[in-house]
Structure formats: C-alpha cells, structure tokens
C-alpha cells in the first residue's frame, strides 16, 4: 500500500495486527488510524490507546434497541433450556 494511508477498523478486533500497526504509525506508513475494536478487549494495549496518531471510540454495534432485545431473548431461551427437566 502507499505510504501515508489512513486506516479504520470497526469490524472485529484482531483483524489488524496491533504490533504491526504501531510500527506502521511510527514509521509513517500509516498516517492515522481509527479503531473501535481491539485484539484484547476489554483491556486493549495501553501503548496503542495512547498513541498520538490513533483515535479510538467505543464499539457500540450491539447498543441498538433491536440488538438488546435479541440478546435478551437469546439469554432467556438459554436459561429456560437449562432449567427445563430433561
């Protein structure tokens, strides 16, 4: 890829090798990065979070009311399946 690219990942943690990302940010290969997912969630690398060329935001993909409803129904179904006699 060209030097000075901007990189955004809002898909899945681990898609981007964070060690290589830090190196690419430090050398200028990547000019700027924005992430809302990390390899080691909920405790991402501190050196990555504090990097001056990185913007990070919380991953809120599951924060919609529809997603929360679906999670609640799935959880209730799992609890019922455990509690039901065999």
Catalytic residue numbers, as ranges:
12, 41, 59
Spacing of C-alpha 8 from chain mean position: 11
Q: What is the DSSP letter of 4?
A: T
Q: What are phi and psi of 84, to 5 degrees?
A: -70, 135
């Amino acid at each position: 890829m060209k030097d000075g690219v901007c990189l955004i990942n809002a898909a899945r943690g681990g898609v981007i090798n964070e060690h290589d990302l830090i190196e690419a940010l430090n050398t200028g290969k990547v000019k700027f990065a924005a992430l809302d997912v990390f390899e080691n969630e909920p405790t991402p690398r501190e050196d990555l979070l504090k990097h001056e060329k990185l913007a990070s935001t919380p991953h809120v993909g599951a924060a919609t009311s529809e997603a929360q409803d679906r999670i609640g129904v799935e959880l209730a179904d799992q609890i019922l399946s455990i509690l039901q006699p065999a």
